[in-house]
Chain A
Amino acid sequence: MLSDVSSFASLAPAYPELLLAAGAVAVLLVSLFWKGVRSGVIATVAILLLVAVLALLVLQPATGALFNHTFIVDGFARYMKALVLGGAAATVLISLSGSKAHGIDKFEYSVLVLLATLGMMIMVSANDLMSLYIGLELQSLALYVVAAMKRDDAKATEAGIKYFVLGALSSGMLLYGASLVYGFTGTTQLDQIVAAITLESRSVGLVFGMVFLLAGIAFKISAVPFHMWTPDVYEGAPTPVTAFFAAAPKVAAMALFIRVTTVSFGPITKDWQQIVIFLSIASMVLASFAAIGQNNLKRLLAYSSIGHVGFALVGLSAGTAVGVEGVAIYMAIYVAMTVGIFACILALKTEDGAPVETITGLAGLAQRKPFVAASIAILMFSLIGLPPLAGFFAKWQVFLAAVEQGLFVLAVIGVLASAVSAFYYLRIIKVMYFDEPVAKYAAVPGELTVVMAGIGFLIVTYFVTVGAPLTAAAQAAAGSLF
């Protein structure tokens, strides 16, 4: 049925996706038939395409629902898509210089990244359990391949398999939940499910379905107890791939989580609130303690990202517009910090070209590479949530929402967990600044310096520069859901 697609102009809200889909296919075809084209060129084209889609998204304010209401573009979707696109473009940019060393200097990498990003955009805009699943799988399938791209590397292959098996399991749970929800409400459309639910007459089957649905999505945001794949995949996958995994997909899955809970299950907020609170507390606490013993930087960042998902969920726990605004701000700052920290890690190579991926390898970095060390230090203080850095303002808004709803136990556990998490972030600063240098490092590529400087600047000057406009944007985004 194509009745609502009467003309090309009526597709305006979906222009960014259409451009990205067409572009991804074009990039694929060109690289297949143009033998000998360097992967760096393809990657650059991919970045330009992502930036063009982002520009189109920003300049094209059309909103509305398309394709029989399976696809919705509202303020919230536009905000989250901007984050996804920005995160994706930035992570491809920072992986340019190291693509050969990390074994991802193939054109397929760029194409898969584009397709995964397309999947994420569909996830963010999904207004139907079916389009939700399609977007999720498009993203996941592309990512499974990307994780295992370095075929001759045992760890990367292991990471790919683990990711695939657990991802398939989570898809299964999600589908099972979706079928139950459909069975008990009679519709797959997210904003119509809500009409079929009332708090008084909700059935156990519906709640059951919702739990499975949320469990499936919780896998994708790697909230505890569905986090097991994260440390292994982060460690095993090539670093540029890890950077990509850590940024954009988390945003898309979080957007999906928010849309499903607040839009579809709004009337039974009390039911899903318990789940989110549990996920949140478990993620914050487990990540804070589990990360302490890590020496591998990527594993540490895996636990760190689990913890940050937990903090973001504190905002969603409130179940209010203020809370969703908090999550929106949190994800924006989280993406910036993630891109920044991976830029730093990718910038670090010893003189013989070996990547530095352990904390002990950073010893005395402040004396050898003061700029990189300062960037990492700023990011670490920001990840702890110390003012006046951006990380503090992220935590501020989510905890503000939780306190408004009287979730004091959650809030107290959350802030104490952030105190514990400070321990492992500070260890990195300690190693860089207080210890004596051992290794010598290679020169830092120019584009990474630019990324580090840019993100460092934004994080330090958040209160002065981006704070107010970002908050306004997040507020508008959250407002479109309530």
Chain B
Amino acid sequence: MIFSEHLLTVITFLPTLGALVLLLVGGKGEAVDNLARWIALAFTLVTAALSLWLWALFDPANTAFQFVENFDWIGDTIGYRMGVDGISVLFIPLTAVLMPAVVLTSWGSITKRVKEYLIVFLVLETFMIGAFATLDLALFYVFFEGTLIPMFLIIGIWGGARRIQATYKFFFYSFTGTVLMLLAIMAMFWQAGTLDIQQLLKFRFPPEVQTWLWIGFFASFAVKMPMWPFHRWLPEAHVEAPTGGSVILAAILLKLGGYGFIRFSISMFPDASHQFANFVFVLSIAAIIITSLIALVQTDMKKLIAYSSVAHMGFVTMGIFSGNIYGIHGAIFQMISHGIVSAALFLCVGVVYDRMHTREISAYGGLVERMPRYAFAFMVFTMANVGLPGTSGFIGEFLTMLAVFQVNTWVAFFAAFGVILSAAYALWLYRRVIFGALTKESLKGILDLDRREIAVLVPLVVLTILFGFYPAPILDATAASVNLVAENFANAIGAAPQAVAAAAGH
């Protein structure tokens, strides 16, 4: 069927089409803003539906890339190449499903330049989906780096009081890291003679070259992820961004880093990944413990959740660089789960922020008396953030710790502290915001979730609990590809010492 052959292209560029339609909407005023919101919602919903269809059509048993489109485009270097395998396929529905939620939040929280807001978000969606769907390294860079433009504007225009510093910091951390990856990409082109990811995955880079390429990619992904100590941009960006921006940043953009580690670092530079694994473990442990401790002392809700994101990403990097099947599987699961949970937590903060216009934890307390439904939703997501069994947060953390236990017991030992600490800061946040007596005058009139907010949060609650009890949809879709990645990694690092030994024997 022709349509399904180009499904990835359609999903990727449909949001851009929506942005173009929005450009045609003229005029000002409440009615025009609402029209723009409905148009954006329609486009994001159709994209989401198509992305779920993609997931349905995806054959999990097949480890090759599917829905492949492949032709040369600019000269003999850059091609237009699309395709997904088990590693990337789930990130596309994740992105597409969260976007309608972002558009829905624009009703309550965005009042100025609404049309522009929706346009940049739709463009951003194209870049994000494109980055996961492309099979050309240069095109990956284009999509990956392209996200900076809309995000810079989102934080800078619709952000909070200190938005300018935050958006500059975000931009420069990301840009500086990513240009180094650009040079690594170019070096790969001259080494392998192609930018086609399918062929690059089969190409064996010499180990000493791998080291440099790995560093180039690491510079980019470690910032994006973000790994400690490259995380400094994240708390500020999160705090200042509007709710929709925080959601996308935490749920999708951070995942680009994790996806990149699996797709490129582990798969294309296995020797270097093995060599640097302990280094990554140290940074991951540092992220898990240090940022969890920092999260404990935060007074701003968004900042607390932002730091907890860094900590959770520590589990992801730890799992990926354990290099075994549980670790990579767990990392992907953790990323999907964190995508849902952190998005939901930021949406929850957005709900009370829209009412009270403050994110100070001390400004709240006893919300359960006025907002029972909100308290329930917030509880589910807090528990998932802690990693309580029965929520999606548990499975990823469990698998990554299981994986790293095989490789290095001490790393697993220290990572376990992260689980304890996350319970501490998340539950303490919940207690301070939701429980206690409702003494503050300003909170006496606060209203519970309205219909729109329920429509946003209920699907996320369902998904959080569903994947906690029944993770099979995610694990099945990824299993075969993860297996292949882990196998290749094991073969590569297993082969390397043998090659050295053989060379020494001569």
Query: Are B145 and A463 neighbours in the complex by a CB distance under 8 Å?
Result: no
Which B residues lie within 8 Å of A426 (CB)? 152, 168, 171
Find chain A residues with CB under 8 A from B398 CB. none
> Can you name the residue of chain B whose Cβ is closest to the Cβ of A435?
B164
- Are B142's CB and A403's CB within 8 A? no
Which residues on A sit within 8 Å (CB–CB) of B176?
A: 416, 419
A475 to B75, CA, bound (A): 8
Q: Which of B138, B148, B164, B183 contacts A411 (CB 8 A)?
A: B183
State whether A387 touches B175 (Cβ < 8 A): no
Q: Which of B138, B143, B153, B182 lies in contact with A415, CB distance below 8 A? A: B182
Q: Mark A413-427, 1 if CB is under 8 A from B, else 0.
A: 001101100110010
- Check A386 against B149 for contact (C-beta < 8 Å): yes
Q: Once the chains bind, are B179 and A387 in contact (CB under 8 Å)?
A: no
CA distance A467 to B72 in the complex (A): 12
The answer to whether A388 and B146 touch (CB under 8 A), given A393-B74, A434-B156, is yes
Contact of A422 with B142 in the complex, beta carbons under 8 Å: no
Q: Answer whether residue B104 sits at the interface, using C-beta atoms and an 8 A cutoff.
A: no
Chain A residue numbers with a CB within 8 Å of B182 are 396, 399, 415
CA distance A403 to B189 in the complex (A): 10
The reply to whether A399 and B164 form a contact with Cβ atoms under 8 Å apart is no
Apart from A403-B187, A415-B179, 8 more pairs, CB < 8 Å: A387-B142, A393-B74, A399-B186, A419-B179, A426-B171, A430-B164, A433-B157, A434-B163
- Cα distance A468–B78 in the bound complex, in angstroms: 10
- Listed A/B pairs (11) with beta-carbon separation below 8 Å: A381-B149, A387-B143, A392-B145, A393-B74, A415-B182, A419-B172, A429-B156, A433-B153, A434-B164, A463-B73, A463-B142
CA distance A433 to B156 in the complex (A): 8
A403-B179 in contact (CB<8A): no
- B130-167, CB < 8 A from A: 138, 141-143, 145-146, 148-149, 152-153, 156-157, 163-164
| A400-B143 Cα distance, complex, nearest whole Å | 19
CB distance from B396 to the nearest CB of A (A): 31
Check B3 for interface membership: any CB of A closer than 8 A.
Answer: no
Whether the Cβ atoms of A467 and B153 lie closer than 8 Å is no
Query: How many angstroms between the C-alpha atoms of A423 and B138 in the bound complex?
Result: 24
Query: If A433-B153, A467-B73 touch, does A416 touch B146 (CB 8 Å cutoff)?
Result: no
Q: Is A351 an interface residue (CB 8 A)?
A: no
Is B410 among interface residues, defined by CB-CB distance under 8 A?
A: no
- The majority secondary structure among interface residues of chain A is helix
Contact pick for A472, options B75, B146, B168, B179, CB 8 Å: B75
Instruction: Give the nearest-CB partner of A405 in chain B.
Output: B190
Nearest-neighbor residue (CB-CB) of B159 within chain A: A434
Tell me the smallest distance from the CB of A85 to a CB of chain B, in Å: 24
Our pick among B146, B164, B171 for the contact of A387 (Cβ within 8 Å) is: B146
Contact of B74 among A381, A387, A422, A467 (CB under 8 A): A467
Interfacial chain B residues near A295, Cβ < 8 Å: none
Quick check: is A208 within 8 A (CB to CB) of the other chain?
no
Expressed in whole angstroms, the Cα–Cα distance for A433 and B157 within the complex equals 7
Report A99 CB to chain B, min CB distance, Å: 33
Is there a chain B Cβ closer than 8 Å to A471's Cβ?
Answer: yes
Q: Knowing A422-B171, A433-B153 are in contact, say whether A415-B183 is a contact too (CB < 8 A).
A: yes
Closest residue on chain A to residue B23 by CB atoms: A374
Task: Give how many A-B residue pairs fall within 8 Å (CB-CB).
Answer: 81
Q: In the complex, which residues of chain A have a beta carbon less than 8 angstroms from the beta carbon of B190? A: 403-404
Chain A residues at the B interface, C-beta cutoff of 8 Å: 381, 386-388, 392-393, 396, 399-400, 403-404, 408, 411-412, 415-416, 418-419, 422-423, 426, 429-430, 433-434, 463, 467-468, 471-472, 475
- The complex places the Cα of A388 from the Cα of B77 at a distance, in Å, of 16
Looking across the interface, which residue of chain B has its beta carbon closest to that of A422?
B175
Neighbouring A residues of B152 by C-beta, 8 Å:
426, 429
Contact A400/B189 with A386-B145, A434-B164 known, Cβ cut-off 8 Å: yes
Of the candidates B75, B78, B142, B175, the one whose C-beta lies within 8 Å of that of A419 is B175
Residues on A with C-beta less than 8 A from B73 are 463, 467-468
B residues contacting A by CB (< 8 A) are 73-75, 77-78, 138, 141-143, 145-146, 148-149, 152-153, 156-157, 163-164, 168, 171-172, 175-176, 179-180, 182-183, 186-187, 189-190
Q: A463-B74, A475-B75 are in contact. Are A408 and B142 (CB under 8 A)?
A: no
Complex Cα–Cα for A412 and B177 (A): 11
Bound complex: CA of A188 vs CA of B148, how far in Å?
51
Inter-chain contacts of A422 with B (CB < 8 A): 171-172, 175
Task: For the complex, give the distance between the alpha carbons of A429 and B156 in Å.
Answer: 10
User: Contact at B171–A396, with CB atoms within 8 Å?
Assistant: no
The one of B75, B148, B156, B172 that contacts A430, using a Cβ cutoff of 8 Å: B156
CA distance in complex: A419, B157 (Å): 21
Give the chain A neighbours of B168 by CB distance below 8 A.
423, 426, 430
Rounded to whole angstroms, the CA-CA distance of A430 and B153 in the bound complex is 9
The residues of A that contact B179 with a CB separation of less than 8 Å are 415-416, 418-419
B151 to chain A, nearest CB (A): 11
Report yes or no: A387 in contact with B172, Cβ–Cβ below 8 A: no
Contacts A400-B186, A463-B74, A467-B74: A412 and B157 contacting too (C-beta < 8 A)?
Answer: no
Closest to B156 in A: A434
Q: CB-CB < 8 A to A403: which residues of B?
A: 183, 186-187, 189-190
Partner of B75, one of A408, A463, A471: A471
Query: B189: nearest residue on chain A (CB-CB)?
Result: A400
Q: Which 5 A-B pairs have the closest CB atoms?
A: A415-B179, A387-B142, A403-B186, A471-B75, A419-B176
Known A-B contacts A419-B175, A426-B152, A434-B156; the reply to A387 vs B189 at CB < 8 A is: no
Distance of A400 Cα from B185 Cα, bound (Å)? 9
Q: Which residues of A contact B187 (CB under 8 A)?
A: 403
Using Cβ atoms and an 8 Å threshold, which residues of chain B touch A408? Answer: 183
CB pair A400–B77 under 8 Å, yes or no, is yes
Q: Which residue of A lies closest to B130 (CB)?
A: A388
A393 to B77, CA, bound (A): 11
Alpha-carbon separation in the docked complex, A102 to B164 (Å): 35
Q: Which residue of B lies closest to A427 (CB)?
A: B168
Q: Bound state CA distance, A265 and B168, in angstroms?
A: 44
The one of B78, B149, B172 that contacts A423, using a Cβ cutoff of 8 Å: B172
Instruction: Identify the interface centre among A415, A416, A475: most chain B CB within 10 Å of its CB.
Output: A415
Contact yes or no, B157 A434, CB < 8 A: yes
User: Chain B contacts of A393 at CB under 8 A?
Assistant: 74
Residue ID in chain A nearest B163 by CB atoms: A434
Residues of the A chain whose Cβ atoms lie less than 8 Å from the Cβ of B186? 399-400, 403-404, 411
- Measured CB to CB, the closest approach of chain B to A445, in angstroms, equals 22
A388 CB contacts on chain B under 8 angstroms: 142-143, 146
B146: chain A residues at CB < 8 Å are 386-388
Taken together as a complex, chains A and B put the C-alpha atoms of A419 and B182 apart, in Å, by: 12
- Cα distance, A434 to B180, chains bound together (Å): 29
CB distance from A292 to the nearest CB of B (A): 13
When chains A and B are docked, how far (Å) is the Cα of A392 from the Cα of B142?
8
User: Is the pair B148, A399 in contact by a Cβ cutoff of 8 Å?
Assistant: no
Residues of B with C-beta under 8 A to A416: 176, 179
Selected from A412, A419, A434, A468, the residue in CB contact (under 8 A) with B183 is: A412
A396 to B189, CA, bound (A): 12
